[in-house]
Structure 1
């Protein structure tokens, strides 16, 4: 009975998946060069892009101690050496989008050159973020940013590009409108582009594809549960540390007031006011300080 219930839940999840959802995106775009080439050709308005290397959830390790690592949703390199990072950003707001775009762009450039190569060998890099909402509030399908001279408005042309795609844009008469429709679509039969439609149909309706997708969802659920437990343990540990720090602060205050020959009742009144303690809590702290 439990297994049947779990299967129903997984089936419901798969039926509801869209390409903008991480779990589904990871499976559909893995090794799917044609789908990525389609996205790049539409967003960059450039035909003939040939992707030679593709990786989903490509992790970049920050060498700094305690540094923040990142994972590119879809990392691609074309036959001219240009690098691309395609991100599906469902939430976060405009400030997060701007800062994340900057951080990911820096990481994308960081792996561009090998030891001994000249900076002039750097190729263009593109961070393309699909936003589920129009966070930039311009009612445009695409927002493209490059460096420029702020006094003259002249483009700097250093090859760095950050592009935000508004998935709230609705206009099926345009390529970009049809693309964002497909990224948000749950049913393959309602999609426009074959490069996306075929893969979605395979993982949702073909028996073999759906079995693969079920396994992926189950693995994701296990990983999520593991990460949730880890975060819960860290939160509990941090809470304990903060509680200890708070306790130490109050007891140090009691010691200092005693050294100043302050009466016990005055000390109790002081820590109740400053640290928002009840009389019972204040008495307990005072008793702990010998």
Structure 2
């Protein structure tokens, strides 16, 4: 992970914190959606929505609404291939979560899942891609009011427009108007906030633990497969059972069940 002092708007942690400032978030939405928004409110920071039938949770970094619409905003710097399916999942859990038991489908708010991507996913050099459901033959808009918006932070556009200035800030951290100045000032304020620094350090520690566990799991898998191959060789050469081979090889008790399960699940034990 980056050093806290080096974070920019394209880092997920910093992006979510900056977008927690209402005036910036409101201006950002108005810029990319090209519409006026009177008032926004945050539903819950870093909210996790759980759907009983799926048992899978989804963490929404910046989840907010106005009177008629709900929005989820996310910075994306990798794993671009799964964005379409992830957007579909986000839309579904947002709808189920927001619709009360006594409410009708007509009460569903218009929804926007917004990804700010550091790569042009579609190759048309558009700063904004706005996807809606429509009939392929006649171009009829379906009217489910579900949008996926991709902000292309890598677009090459003129710095003379507000959008161009924002995209340029995402790419180069260059302040060129009041909006990017407000973003830059907020980032500097966050970097001076000891509480924010502590939160980032906790996140960093959790990620390090996860990587360490992953390495340990990988190491264990390697040990198990080494034992599996040795046992298969002994069993084949000496015509003995798996249990006899496990004992003969002096497999540690902590690996016994895992090695035996690997043998039974993946190999012909009577070869």
TM-score (norm 2): 0.76
Larger radius of gyration: 1
C-alpha distance 89-58 of structure 1, shift in aligned 2 (>3 A): same
Report what 2:202 is aligned to.
Answer: 222
Report the Cα offset of residue 146 of structure 1. Answer: 1.2
Find the aligned partners of 2:197 and 2:73 in 1 and give their Cα distance.
22
Question: Aligned partners of 2:129, 2:58: CA distance in 1, in Å?
Answer: 23
Q: 1:200 to 1:106 in 2, by over 3 A?
A: same
Structure 1 position 211 matched with structure 2 position 172: no
Is 1:159 matched with 2:145?
yes
Count of residues in correspondence between the two structures: 245
Query: 2:147 aligns to what SS in structure 1?
Result: strand
Match of 1:233 in 2: 213
* Distance in structure 1 (CA, Å) of the matches to 2:220 and 2:53: 27
For the aligned residue pairs, the C-alpha RMSD in angstroms reads 3.2
Contact 1:19 1:184 in 2 (8 A): no
How many angstroms does 1:48 deviate by? 3.4
1:173 to 2:160 alignment? yes
TM-score (norm 1): 0.71
Q: Is structure 2 residue 15 aligned with structure 1 residue 25? A: yes
> What is aligned with 1:141?
127
Superposed CA offset, 1:118-162 (max 9, x none):
112111110111111212111111111111223333221111110
Partner of 1:73: 61
5+ residue gaps in structure 1? 1-8, 261-283
SS at match of 2:62: strand
Deviation, structure 1 residue 246: 5.2
The separation in 1 between residues aligned to 2:203 and 2:51, in whole angstroms, is 22
